[in-house]
């Protein structure tokens, strides 16, 4: 009757409202992360400088004193917080795209690992969500394994931002930090290195699957020196969430990007996603495209204190082959045609 019709309509309205609220929470969670990625370091530095010039200067002075005392902590495994890694906001972040982590093999807790993450994309959204939060269940899928996502060391010179990054298990991608985690932090550690780095980000664009890897062999040498197994990781959809202006080789734009990359460590990209209120406008929010990160089979690496170039080349070649096989095995499952080829540069 009329009563049941009204009740049904109210239920539909309630469900619609709940759905809209969840969507807005997803957008907010992604927006805060994008702003953190782009401006948090500079903003916190400026705020700290401003506080030093006010009556509350003691607060800033105390923090700076703490910063000096705590300066080397990022190089010694950081200071992760399971509470931060389990924040509900990361689950909304995951569901916005959505992001999914796929396990293909077990990892022994008696070994250490170097995960090679590909491709970089614009911001490495899949790498962050999967390995710096518990949103996709990395600790449940790989029990006893502690993931450390490695990023630019310069980020850990920024006040407040450094502490925020460390809480998620993020570490500097430098020799001191990696040596400490792989040699003085026991076993069961997995350092996630986005191997292609800034150079790879310059070529990422929707519909393109390419990695910068041919001349990236430092991570293989580190694996040999520490006897850490290499694990190829490919993130399907990482390049789909932003559109970028690609400058041709030899153009002034590419020259500027390479200069930044050489002297500062990152390459400025001209990119856009969707707007805050509409997917039909341009903005900083990534497009809500699925990202599926597949963790491949570990390659057993012997410990060699002084590996020769021949040994490095051999295991690097083995790693490249393993990554290509991983891509070929799963490409059709995650929306790519069988004819798609992974371009290795």
What distance in Å separates the CA atoms of residue 248 and residue 243, rounded to the nearest whole number?
Answer: 16
Query: What is the pTM (predicted TM-score) of this model?
Result: 0.90
What distance in Å separates the CA atoms of residue 289 and residue 13, rounded to the nearest whole number?
Answer: 27
Residue 11: is its pLDDT beyond 60?
Answer: no
Phi, psi of 154 (to 5 degrees): -60, -25
115: β partners = 192, 231
pLDDT of residue 278: 82
What distance in Å separates the CA atoms of residue 118 and residue 195, rounded to the nearest whole number?
Answer: 7
What distance in Å separates the CA atoms of residue 311 and residue 167, rounded to the nearest whole number?
Answer: 36
pLDDT of residue 172: 96
Q: How many Cα neighbours within 13 Å face the side chain of 341? A: 3
Residue 10: is its pLDDT beyond 50?
Answer: no
Q: How many residues does the chain have?
A: 345
Cβ neighbors of 289 (< 8 A, separation 6 or more) are: 97, 237, 240, 241
DSSP state of 76: G
Do the beta carbons of residue 329 and residue 237 sit within 8 Å?
Answer: no
Q: What percent of the chain has pLDDT over 70?
A: 94
pLDDT digits (tens, 9 = 90+) for 126-169: 999 999 999 999 999 999 999 999 999 989 999 999 999 999 99
pLDDT of residue 113: 98
**Dihedral of the CA atoms 112, 307, 263, 65 (nearest 10)?**
50
Residue 2: is its pLDDT beyond 80?
Answer: no
**Out of 142-146, 268-272, 338-342, least confident range:** 268-272
Query: What are the structural domain ranges in the chain?
Result: 3-344
Tokens of 71: 């300066």
Pairing of strands 146-151, 189-194: parallel
Residue 14: pLDDT band with limits 50, 70, 90: low
pLDDT digits (tens, 9 = 90+) for 94-125: 999 999 999 999 999 999 999 999 999 999 99
pLDDT digits (tens, 9 = 90+) for 29-61: 999 999 998 899 999 999 999 999 999 999 999
């Amino acid at each position: 009757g009329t009563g049941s019709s009204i009740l049904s309509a109210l239920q539909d309205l309630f469900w619609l409202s709940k759905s809209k609220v969840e969507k807005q929470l997803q957008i907010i969670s992604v927006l805060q992360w994008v702003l953190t990625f782009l401006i948090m370091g500079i903003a916190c530095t400026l705020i700290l400088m401003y506080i030093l010039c006010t009556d509350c200067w003691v607060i800033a002075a105390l923090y700076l004193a703490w910063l000096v005392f705590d300066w080397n902590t990022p190089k010694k495994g950081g200071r992760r917080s399971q509470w931060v890694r389990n924040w509900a906001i990361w689950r909304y972040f995951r569901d916005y795209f959505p992001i999914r982590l796929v396990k293909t093999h077990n990892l022994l807790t008696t070994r250490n690992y170097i995960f090679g993450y590909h491709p970089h994309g614009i911001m490495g959204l899949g790498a962050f969500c999967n390995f710096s939060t518990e949103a996709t269940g990395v600790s449940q899928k790989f029990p006893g394994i502690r993931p450390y996502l490695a990023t630019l060391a310069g980020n850990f010179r920024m006040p407040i931002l450094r502490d925020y990054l460390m809480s998620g298990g993020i570490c500097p991608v430098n020799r001191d930090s990696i040596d400490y985690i792989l040699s003085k932090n026991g076993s069961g550690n997995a350092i996630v290195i986005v191997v292609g780095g800034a150079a790879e980000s310059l070529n990422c664009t929707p519909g393109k699957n390419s990695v910068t890897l041919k001349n990236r062999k430092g991570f293989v040498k580190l694996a040999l020196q520490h006897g850490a197994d290499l694990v190829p990781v490919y993130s399907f959809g990482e390049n789909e969430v932003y559109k970028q202006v690609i400058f041709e080789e030899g153009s002034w734009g590419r020259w500027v990007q390479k200069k930044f990359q050489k002297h500062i460590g990152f390459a400025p990209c001209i990119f856009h996603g969707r707007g805050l209120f509409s997917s039909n406008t341009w903005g900083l929010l990534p497009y809500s495209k699925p990202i599926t990160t597949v963790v491949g089979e570990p390659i057993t690496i012997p410990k060699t204190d002084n590996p020769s170039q021949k040994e490095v080349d051999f295991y690097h070649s083995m790693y490249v082959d393993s990554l290509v096989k991983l891509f070929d095995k799963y490409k059709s499952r995650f929306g790519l045609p069988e004819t798609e080829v992974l371009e290795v540069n």
